[in-house]
Amino acid sequence: MNQLLTDTLHTAPIMGTIVLALVVILINAMKKDSLALEYWVSLIGIAANIGLAVWAFPLRGSAFAGTVMTGGFASLTAAVFLVAAGLTIILSRAYIEKIGVNFGEFFHLILMGAAGMMTFAAGTDLVVTFVGLELMSICLYALAGISRRVHKSNEAALKYFLLGAFASGFFLYGIALIYGMTGTTNILGIAQNIAAYKSEPLFLVGAGLLLVGFAFKIGAVPFHMWVPDVYEGSPTVVSAFMSTGAKAAAFAALLLVFTATFDFIHSSMNTVLSVLAVASMLVGNIVAISQTNVKRMLAYSSIGHAGYMLIGITAGGDVSMAGVLFYLISYMFTNLGAFGVASIIENAEQQGTDLENFRGLYYRRPLLAVLMGVFMFSLVGIPPLAGFFGKYYIFVAAIENGYTWLTIVGVITSMISVYYYLRVVVLMFFQAPEEAEAPQVTSGGTIALLVSAFGILLVGLFPSIVLGWMGGLF
Amino acid sequence: MIESYIPIFLIIGVAAIFGVVSVNMSWLLGPQRPYREKQSTYESGVDPVSTAHYRFSVKYYMVALSFIIFDIEVVFMYPWAVRFRELGWPGFVVMLVFVVVLAVGFIYELKKGALRWD
């Protein structure tokens, strides 16, 4: 009984978020027209859960018979997902009323999705990891299609669901083969005699199938086909949550399983990872140039960013793992902000996120344009914004571990990305104002965007503090 | 390791024999008065041959989802009930949490009128 209580307490952020989601859905069931109440309950609950995550940070260890990690890495990632969920909820308050899907279930699904992400990232047993992955994915499938009268949203949900279920199959098959080889699904147990398994074909096939599942969720080439269609079709705030939370969760789990446990440095699996990284960077950044829709452009850019983070996964070692985590935090703020601006620009028919709609934005909504500029510069990686240090740490770690050629590809593709990111900035600031009405900006949306921009600046100006949290996490 | 799978093979064998025997028994012993509807494939009372773009009632999903909720609940409760004494209070609390979560889903379903038939 005591053990059960301690375990529950140590996994407080996950438990708290699940309870919060249940409370929100109960309010929704019991009370009519309770969107405002659900909104505030969600926000206060998320703030409380972030507090719990901070409180649980020193409690490093594992709970529930070694199946879930507590404290440290789990707390840090939990806080990241909760911040992403909170910002998404603030942004979505006005947005879901604009597009006419103002259901309380929206907040419930976001909260449950965040709980799934935490479980996904904190699971130290492959079965728990899979349960987290599914909880996250099912919420996102429903969220992608929540705008049920819009064709593109339906298409996005169905595409994401079918391909996602397929990828989950690969993931499970990988777990089954690894279990067949090692006799356990606990990654701590596998880590104990990893040296014996590392060259076994069965184990490598299992790890490869697992990697297919992960690569799908992070949207790495060649498993990226769904990314542009799903990000474009889904309601924009959902795309924001998907591209930050889901991607960060998949990367955190990938770090835990592949880099920290399987430790494939200087093996054939590393060649596979580097191929994924190079392909993602090239395809993502080059195809993004020809996009005329900002949501689609951000989708391709997120494929490119998955490539940069895969450099860190390939290089391995403590420095690059900290670098990937740092990148995830900076990318979370940046991409949430960029999608957030797109969600404000968008009209009630879920259209109007073309590049043309950004023309002369500065003359209509100066603050919005300046914020979008900050997000774009952070995505490019201009100091002192967070995006710069994310790339910097990953590239430094890659060079230290002898992957200079990956860094060269990364820098070249970053140069390519400057073109399409700055094109948005040029359109907003230096082009004649279009004869169009200014988009409606609500105070909630402004606050969320300001928090994102502030986060980018803070992480960019004091990178050593953020990096300090990551010392000895693994 | 392979010895631990023997009960599973055993139960697969028993299941297969039970299935084959019971289906064949009813075929051998039962009276046979076939007509067209009886011989067509069973599709929950829906005509099995029609166009693919067929609209069917959303109630199917409602019933299916409610069924899954309680089906899964019972599937987890059986092994728990068998080991009830050994699991003690921690087992009880865990099961309580599980049932409460399902109950929240059920309350939501009721309040949204998923079980209102007309």
Q: At what angle do helices A201-218 and A126-144 cross, to 10 degrees?
A: 30
Question: Does the beta carbon of A350 lie under 8 angstroms from any beta carbon of chain B?
Answer: no
Q: How many Å separate Cα A80 from the centre of its chain?
A: 9
What is the helix, strand, coil percentage profile of chain A, to 5? 80, 0, 20
**Interface probe, candidates A20, A26, A111, chain B, greatest B C-beta count within 10 A:** A26
Residue from A128, A120, A141, A107 nearest A20 by CA:
A107
Q: Please report whether residue A148 resides in a domain.
A: yes
Average model confidence (pLDDT) across chain A: 90
User: A332 vs A119, A134, B1, CA distance in Å?
Assistant: 18, 21, 46
Question: Does the beta carbon of B101 lie under 8 angstroms from any beta carbon of chain A?
Answer: yes
Q: Are A72 and A322 in contact (CB under 8 A)?
A: no
Q: Please report whether residue A474 resides in a domain.
A: no
Check A26 against B108: CB less than 8 A apart: yes
Q: How many Å separate Cα A413 from the centre of its chain?
A: 21
* Chain B partners within 8 Å of A29 (Cβ): 107-108, 110-112
* Chain A partners within 8 Å of B110 (Cβ): 29
The residues pairing with A125 across neighbouring beta strands, listed in sequence order, are A186
In whole angstroms, give the CA distance from residue A350 to residue A347.
5
Helix (H) / strand (E) containing A61: strand A61-63
A313-328 tens-digit pLDDT: 988 888 888 889 999 9
| Coil/strand/helix, residue A198 | coil
Give how many domains chain B has, as a whole number.
1
Check B101 against A3: CB less than 8 A apart: no
Q: Please report whether residue B13 resides in a domain.
A: no
A370-424 tens-digit pLDDT: 999 999 999 998 888 888 998 999 999 999 888 999 999 999 999 999 999 999 9
Average pLDDT score over residue span A170-176:
95
Helix (H) / strand (E) containing A63: strand A61-63
Q: Please report whether residue A242 resides in a domain.
A: yes
In whole angstroms, give the CA distance from residue A85 to residue A106.
11
**Interface probe, candidates B98, B104, B106, B115, chain A, greatest A C-beta count within 10 A:** B104
B28-68 tens-digit pLDDT: 888 888 887 777 777 766 677 777 777 777 888 888 888 88
Q: Please report whether residue B77 resides in a domain.
A: yes
Give how many domains chain A has, as a whole number.
1
For B91, how many CA atoms within 13 A lie in the half-sphere containing its CB? 13
3-state SS, one letter per residue, for A357-390: HHCCHHHHCHHHHHHHHHHHHHHHCCCCCHHHHH
Q: Residue A1 is nearest to which of B90, B111, B112, comparing CB atoms?
A: B90
* Domain, as residue range, for B62: 55-118
Question: In which band, very low, low, confident or very high, does the pLDDT at B1 lie, cut at 50, 70 and 90?
Answer: low
Beta carbons within 10 angstroms of residue B85's beta carbon: 7
Q: Please report whether residue B20 resides in a domain.
A: no
Q: Please report whether residue B80 resides in a domain.
A: yes
Q: Please report whether residue B8 resides in a domain.
A: no
Residue from A451, A387, A448, A450 nearest A417 by CA:
A387
Hey, what are A261's tokens?
A: 């446990």
Question: Does the beta carbon of B112 lie under 8 angstroms from any beta carbon of chain A?
Answer: yes
Closest chain A residue to B102, measured at CA: A22
Residue from A238, A220, A194 nearest A280 by CA:
A220
* Chain B partners within 8 Å of A1 (Cβ): 88-90, 93
Give the CATH number, domain containing residue B93.
1.20.58.1610
Q: Please report whether residue A170 resides in a domain.
A: yes
Question: Does the beta carbon of A4 lie under 8 angstroms from any beta carbon of chain B?
Answer: yes
Asked whether residue A349 carries a pLDDT value surpassing 90, the answer given is no
H-helix segments, A57-125: 73-98, 105-122
| Residue A47 distance to chain B (closest CA, Å) | 23
A62-110 tens-digit pLDDT: 888 889 998 888 999 999 999 999 999 999 998 988 888 888 899 999 9
The pTM score is 0.90
Residue from A154, A286, A138, A137 nearest A217 by CA:
A137
User: Which residues have a Cβ under 8 Å from the Cβ of A163 and sit 6 or more positions away?
Assistant: A216, A225, A226
In whole angstroms, give the CA distance from residue A152 to residue A340.
19
| Residue B102 distance to chain A (closest CA, Å) | 10
**What Rg, from alpha-carbon coordinates, does chain A have?**
21
* Domain, as residue range, for A196: 2-469
| Residue A28 distance to chain B (closest CA, Å) | 8
Asked whether residue A434 carries a pLDDT value surpassing 70, the answer given is no
